[in-house]
Chain A
Amino acid sequence: MEKNLQFKPETLKLIKEVMSRYPEGKHKSALLPVLHLAQAEFDGWLSPEAMDLVADALNIKPIEVYEVASFYSMYNLKPVGKCLLEVCRTSSCWLRGAEDIVRHLEQTLGIKEGETTPDGMFTLKTVECLGSCGTAPMLQCGAQFHENLTFEKVDQLVSDLRKDGARKTYFDEVTVTHY
């Protein structure tokens, strides 16, 4: 575990900017956006230390952070791989073959849904509807939506991500191919 966790100065500046969006005394509203910032900065998950740091930055009690982080599904309370592959499993995607995509990814990566590859590169997760039903099946990795998936597209994606090797976050630049 990393000791003496600290936000980068530019993140602290961003946090101040986010806090200024709300009326005087209502800065707790910044909690959800700041948790996203913390997760992106600290290896894609929120350790108790990271959450305490958020509590400090917003001047609220740690419990107020824990109870929120544990409520919303985008916050990871356990370590995840550099690339979190979130495959939509809800009806419209399921109708267009989401189950087959998950099975194919399990075989390709050699892990089961919910697991992380031994090299820490990929975590495979199924999630509920991501609002991409017209371009199903789909998965999200970082901020990027990968849509109209086929086995070939999935193979290409896995290979590209592996070559790139970088951690994907919700703040990444995105290429919009479908609307």
Chain B
Amino acid sequence: MGKKLLLANDHVPGIQSYAVYREKGGYASVEKALKTMTPEAVVEEVKKSGLRGRGGAGFPTGMKWSFLAKPEGVPRYLVCNADESEPGTFKDRYLMSRIPHFLIEGMITSSYALGANTSYIYVRGEYYYVIAILEKAIKEAYAAGWLGKNILGTGYDLDLYVQPGGGAYICGEETALLESLEGKRGNPRIKPPFPAIKGLYGCPTVVNNVETIAAVVPIVNEGGDEYAKIGIGRSTGTKLISASGHINKPGVYEIELGVPVEEFIYSDQYCGGILNNKKLKAVVAGGSSVPILPANLILKTANGEDRLMTYESLSDGGFASGSMLGSGGFIVMDETTSIVKNLWNFARFYHHESCGQCSPCREGTGWMEKVLHKIVHGHGEMKDIDLLWDLQRRIEGNTICPLGDAAAWPVASAIRHFRHEFEEFVREGHSVKDVKHYFEVNNL
């Protein structure tokens, strides 16, 4: 079993409460940072740790923090991105609902490092019960003196609030999130200026994922160098993986970066193998947006090396034969899965979630959904497959935010690796599995 930094105490009874969390050593990072470290020293530890954004982009957190502008007399903000909406991803919900004080502790330590005196946790609205859990924990933290004025007598003030979203995938994009937090439609902003210069209310702002902010706690407690010893190369530390789909043990697993994908899928420590002893067909390794890979390419790289759960190994081979670690939303599909129908499912999602600001995404996602609907319902033609390819190519890179790319990549990768299935669908007008299912449900 690998080292656990975030979920070491997740099954301790009562860990949701302040008393138990504190008894287990909680809030030590706040004490250490506020009493013995300068904000710059905290940023330095995060830099040393090699921590990369856990929301999906994988950008080095310490570097992101060091870009924060610090003009005199202008407030700075830390905003936690808890808008977890990437299909296949549910780790942040687990962490927040199971150990709410972990995130709050990370928010205090990180806010101190950035010089923010007001911070927000933006939680997707559907997680309203998680908001209730967080708000209760925040109240406890205020009562115990970890939030408010003059924390621990150090003169540092911090107010922390939870903000609910309204149900929009796009608000996981950091500038759309800021728009939403300002009470507007979630339309991403044109960058530059980046939030580090002009973010919330036009002030310098850092937006970080829940897991990223939580990781600051062990980094401050044990030091950036210790954290960086875990993992391989530039993939340091631990990562929460949300495992779902056709596996025996779906759930959230904290892994040391570097675990082989094969071990992650088949070991009883993790996914426990494929459901009903079926064969593995494909995996979407990092949330719906990342390229899908067939079994052979998810287990081994094109060069025949073991594929590892790291940023670098999962992207080995580029999009020709690789994928991405993304948010760690690990969706496993068995041999009975129709890749075409799954892609239609994804296409519907992106069409529904496009904010409508950029034409290539607004029109393109709808078009891709329609073409896939046509194929799935038995009216497809061979030229539709090329049309799909053409459509995704014209969306990628032509939009303000990455939702366009996120909608294009699943289409491109499904055609790249499973073109024969699209052709079968077009030729037969259906997939063999559907016919079997139709006979089953109608008792024929």
Residue positions of A touching B, CB distance < 8 A: 21, 23, 26, 28-33, 35-36, 60, 64, 67-68, 71-75, 89-92, 94-96, 100, 127-136, 140, 143-145, 170-171, 174, 176, 179
Contacts and interface: CB of A to CB of B under 8 A. Distances in A.
A92 B166 contact: no
Contacts of A26: 182, 201
20 contacts: A21-B163, A26-B182, A31-B183, A32-B163, A68-B183, A72-B167, A89-B345, A91-B245, A91-B342, A91-B349, A92-B87, A95-B246, A96-B246, A128-B169, A129-B87, A129-B349, A133-B90, A176-B97, A179-B94, A179-B252
Q: Is the interface of B mostly helix, strand, loop or mixed?
A: mixed
Contacts of B250: 133-136
A174 B129 contact: yes
Contacts of B180: 32
B346 interface: yes
A41 B92 CA distance: 29
A72 B333 contact: no
Interface residues of B, number: 62
Contacts of A28: 182-184
A128 B125 contact: no
A131 B217 CA distance: 24
Nearest to B171: A72
B387 interface: no
A36 B86 CA distance: 22
B431 interface: no
B337 interface: yes
A75 B331 CA distance: 29
B185 interface: yes
A32 to B, nearest CB: 5
Contacts of B164: 32-33, 36
Contact of A72 (B90, B125, B201): B125
A52 B377 CA distance: 43
B288 A136 contact: no
What are the 4 closest A-B residue pairs judged by CB atoms, nearest first? A72-B166, A74-B167, A31-B183, A133-B244
A143 B288 contact: no
Interface string B209-250: 000000000000000000000000000000000111110001
A96 B180 CA distance: 32
A135 B90 CA distance: 10
A130 B126 contact: yes
A100 B438 CA distance: 12
Contacts of A32: 125, 163-166, 180, 183
A44 B427 CA distance: 47
B185 A140 contact: no
Interface centre among B88, B331, B345, B346 (most CB of A within 10 A): B345
A134 B246 CA distance: 10
A67 B180 CA distance: 12
